[in-house]
Amino acid sequence: MSSNSSHRAESGDWCVYKFGGSSVGTPGRLPRVLSLISEARGPLAVVVSALGDTTDWLISAANAAARGDAAGSSAELTRVRSLAKTIASTVLEGAVLTAHEKTVEQLLAPIERLLTGVELTRECTPATLDEVLSVGERISSELVARALTARGIPALAVDARTFLVTDETAGSARVDIEASRARLTPLIPGWAGKVPVITGFIARSHQGRTTTLGRNGSDYTATLLSWLLGARQVTVWTDVPGVMTADPALVSDAYPVPRMTYAEALELAHFGTRMFHPRTMIPLLESGAALHIRGTTEPDAPGTRIDAEGNPDPHRPTSVTSLERLALLHVESLRPTLSEPLGPRVLQALEAARITVWGGTLSALAPSISLVVRQEEAQRAHAVLEAALRGECERREVRVPPPHAPVTLVTLVAESMGHRPNVAGRFFHALGNVGVNVRAILQGASSRSVSCAVDAEDTAVAVRTVHSAFNLNETEINVLLVGKGTVGGRLLAQLEENAKTLRARHGISLRLVALVDSRRALFEPRGVPPAEAHARLAEVSPSTVSPPDVRPLLDRLSRLSVPVLVDCTAADGMETLYAEAIRRGIHVVGANKKPLARPWKEYEGLHSLTRAHFRTWHYETTVGASLPVIETLKNLVRTGDRVERIEGCFSGSLGAICHALMKGLPLSQAVRTARANGYTEPHPRDDLSGLDVARKALILARELGLELELEDVAVEPLVPPEHLREEDPETFLRTLGSLDAEVSAQVARYREAGRSLRYLAQILPNAPGGPRVKVGPVAVDASHPATGLKGAEAMVSFFTERYREFPLIVRGAGAGGDVTAAGVLADILRLAQNVRGRR
């Protein structure tokens, strides 16, 4: 310590450290604080807050005393005393600890007498409360100074009241800089070779009365001290690693902003970032010192530096704040012109009533005005405005509706906003894209922020959405995957294989946060490596019900950015889960055809739900695996083309079976091979029955707006219906052997006639008598587009007004785990690109 002491004594280049209540008042953290102080170089002044929740307990003690509750007041002081003893015992021992405990009692004794007087008068004035609260920082200062000295680091407890001079305003006093400098200057020589540990938050008025600088005023003390000392830097040590891009309680992927300007910090302070005292920046603006926010639990992390320059990177991260428990007031003009502008009168009335206004549409010439005030002041503000505008209200020129509450003020703060186009557009587009209703657009005085009022219930989704739109170089998609069979398993593999490429080339981070099968459900909000998903799921205890209830997982998924439910099952009843997800603001990607083949009213109801909640439901793979069949049809319809006929082989599994039959393979072996290759449904009869193709045909017909039901599809199975009754897949495959000879003979006759067996679907939207949809086995001639299909290829031909002579054909692999999983992944990525929008 001697070398450090010498260095501090000789150098005039001061640094200031400030430690908050959680840093000095949480068991186990104070030793780290002492280490950080001992590692500092050069002259160092330390500012400390009260231990832990001491300030809250002192306020409670004063309130209890004012009610005449002596026992309650005493109990709160006991909590203060107990915490001080607990924390001291972690860093002091023996006689030093005893001496500190005596000091605590000496500090608390006059406070106890003061509170006794409050109990008698049943009144605690703001000035009295300031005196009560001052003891918290004084206890903390004494403890830290004594602990440093016990470790060989000479330190001195300094009461800021000895040099900080203020006006008489209780609770939020204003500092007289010149008077404070005059009192501090003669004290500095006495700090030579020592670490002054200074009380934050408190000061003394010109008349000698104890004052406070407002809640969180210790930061203000630190920056004031830096100005008075001419310090080059102030470091505020907190329990977070810097100024975060959003509240971590709302946005799990919020991260520290590396650099920002004083002006950005001032804007954040105004719009509710609790880290900043409203006046913290003023001394820094005057002195030019930098403010560094760092975390005591991560001292090696870079934290956030706040200075005049900020971050020169035009793509630097921004902060999103959410000021909650507010109310929205409107003043509406019922006439095109008024004798006197509304704006100034409204603001003057509220200012006279000492009601804080955070922002609004405040143009003096605006016919209507919106304002945001504290929720607890909403009714009084409403009454003030009605009184101020009583004449216009009586003449029905102006209306002042009741306040709308609760609302949250969501604000994007960034120095770069005034230098880049379309920031506000992206802000509101992002909110509109997820269905957040913007109640009012609130104008600030600078180009560094844009704000809006949203309903309190939309706070979390609004903050997450804006944060994702502006702060993530990668668009983060959080996936809950249901089903880990053939398609789900291959999707997990593709998520693992493509993760780096998606980040590097497309700026998309796909996080698997949940996996569900028929017996187990796994949820990990930080993400599960896809390669580990099967093993991690196997460690979970089986659910008492099968399948597990996924709804609790949806609640957790909805709190993450861009949540997506991915259905890779062929299960019944999934439409109910889809609806639950959509209502929670979750997007859906499904490879399951069954929800799309439900009765028309249910089908249309689910689509209406997605529109009402501004969610997306992608299901491209339900018809052609990874082939762009549905999107192609949508584009034809969107652009006004008239579809006259759709025809094709929609099933890659049946395509593979028919191709094998034409090659001479027996039916039973052809089906077994297709199943082994992952082409068929879990039960192959769903393919051979034609039901799977019928569902696909119905899906396409409904994309044309045809209000058809599954029963309206004429279906001819590939094998006689009596063979489709077997429930067990293995038994079903064995019984197919009885059809081998008959089917092979029929195929031979087709071959001799120059025809090929194909399972064909036809959709005729304009057929005489109404739309017709039919599926079944057909012997096509050599000129038919389906003749050339091989293996698991699928093909869809669109005959339209524009493509009448030469149909638009989509052809390619139509079955298999890999291609279907690729189609699901493509749907997820399409969703990601839509959410990401233009950066």
**Under 8 Å CB-to-CB from 330, ≥6 apart: which residues?**
368, 369, 370, 371, 400, 401, 404, 440
SS3 548: coil
Q: Is 634 in the active site?
A: no
CA distance 38 to 49: 19
CA 584 and chain centroid, separation: 14
| Dihedral sign for Cα atoms in the order 309, 311, 313, 315 | negative
Q: Which two tokens stand for residue 189?
A: 């020589």
Q: How far is CA 711 from CA 303, 599, 630, 721, 774, in A?
A: 64, 10, 22, 16, 11
CA distance 776 to 689: 9
Q: Token pair 């080059």 is at which residue?
A: 232
Q: Token pair 């860093």 is at which residue?
A: 91
Q: Which residues pair with 798 in a beta bridge?
A: 646, 808
Q: What are phi and psi of 511, to 5 degrees?
A: -110, 125
Q: What is the DSSP letter of 767?
A: -
Q: Other C-beta atoms within 10 Å of 557: how many? A: 23
User: With 0-12 CB in 10 A as exposed, 13-18 as middle and 19+ as buried, what is 337?
Assistant: exposed
CA distance 462 to 571: 33
Q: Token pair 């894209």 is at which residue?
A: 433
Q: Select which of 484, 696, 774, 790 is catalytic.
A: 696
Instruction: Determine which helix (DSSP H) or strand (DSSP E) holds 424, and give its type and residue range.
Output: helix 423-433
State which amino acid sits at residue 309: E
Q: Which residues pair with 327 in a beta bridge?
A: 373
SS3 462: helix
Q: Other C-beta atoms within 10 Å of 347: how many? A: 16
CA distance 465 to 460: 8
CA distance 123 to 427: 48
CA distance 439 to 454: 5
**Under 8 Å CB-to-CB from 824, ≥6 apart: which residues?**
487, 491, 566, 568, 589, 591, 621
CA distance 693 to 273: 57
In 3D space, the residue among 212, 307, 330, 319 whose CA is nearest the CA of residue 272 turns out to be 319
Active site residues: 696
